Amino acid sequence: VAMAATRSVMRAVRVFEFGGPEVLKLQSDVLVPVPKENQVLIKVHACGVNPVETYIRSGTYARKPALPYTPGSDVAGVIESVGEHVTAFKKGDRVFTLETLSGGYAEYAVAAANRVFPLPDKLDFRQGAAIGVPYFTAYRALFQKGCAKAGESVLVHGASGGVGLATCQIARACGLKVLGTAGTEEGMNMILRNGAHQAFNHRDPNYTERIKACTGPGGVDIIIEMLSNVNLDADLQLLSCAGRVMVVGCRGRIEINPRDTMSKESSIIGVSLFLATEEERRECATAVLDGIEAGWLKPVVGLEYPLEKAAKAHEDIICSSGAQGKMVLLL
């Protein structure tokens, strides 16, 4: 009991009810979590902000955490302590995570040791917080679900955000022809610097015609789609025979004509990192760590916010005119 009395407290963002960005409340008296067996406690230096966290917070997402909770899965920081049976990490190690158990929008976070990976010195903590969900999702969409092969073409729809840039880098490194779309000139330039062979402005009313002119009559083999409620109908017109649209992001409903899939025997495939098996996660991790080692995996950090501006970050990630890199909270 004496131990419990001396447990230290930390600042963390808590959600007590589902709703708009304003339900994110910064509290300074949250107990620092204690790692159990096969868990580690991380002192958080940076935490990535993902669009999915805004959907979960709003209460509209399929998975709802028990209230109250702290959002955030992609943290980068330093191991503070380890639970029993943890041999892969020790106090002081630099790490990044794929998910956390206690929530990443906080000064400390507990994570399962098998969701934690070493952060090489060549990347800083901001970049470390931009790896987990974006790169694992990109790899899963391209290879585990999309069956991408070298020499195929891929269109990354909404390529200037965290997942989009990760997809461009991975696809380029693996020998695909990479086309990307963005909504701003800066976004297009960023895509080209990060692996795309060609960039298109999806605000240009004729951009799909430009893509068709670029791919020729064959069409594009794979489309990685971040905003399927807007683009899915047009995507089906751009596909090659046996082409596939990978649904990575969606913010609502859309009407399509299923006949468009028949004429090319094309597929619409949903992607959820949450459903990956342990073996699939390990495969993603290996590809990601190899990419960092090889030097082609370079996370692009976009807007940065202090922890107390988490609500503003949630507003901006949904309402911004064009993403540029991965949004992070800095601690």
| Domain co-membership, 49 together with 156 | no
In a domain, 199, yes or no: yes
**CATH code, domain with 205:** 3.40.50.720
219-237 confidence digits (pLDDT tens): 999 999 999 999 999 999 9
What integer best gives the mean pLDDT of the chain?
95
pLDDT at 6: 64
Residue found under tokens 């990419």: 291
Contacts of 166 (CB under 8 A, 6+ apart): 134, 135, 137, 138, 139, 299
pLDDT mean over 4-26: 91
pLDDT at 37: 98
pLDDT mean over 91-96: 98
| Domain co-membership, 126 together with 154 | no
Q: Say how many domains are in the chain.
A: 2
In a domain, 99, yes or no: yes
At residue 5 the predicted structure's pLDDT band, cuts being 50, 70 and 90, is low
Domain extent for 175: 134-274
DSSP string, 259-314: HHHHTTT-EEEE--GGG--HHHHHHHHHHHHHHHHHT---PPEEEEEEGGGHHHHH
In a domain, 259, yes or no: yes
Asked if pLDDT for residue 68 goes beyond 70, the answer is: yes
Asked if pLDDT for residue 4 goes beyond 60, the answer is: no
Whether this prediction's pTM lies above 0.85 is answered by yes
**CATH code, domain with 43:** 3.90.180.10
Q: Position 114: which residue type?
A: N
pLDDT at 323: 74
At residue 2 the predicted structure's pLDDT band, cuts being 50, 70 and 90, is very low
At residue 1 the predicted structure's pLDDT band, cuts being 50, 70 and 90, is very low
CB 163 within 8 A of CB 248: yes
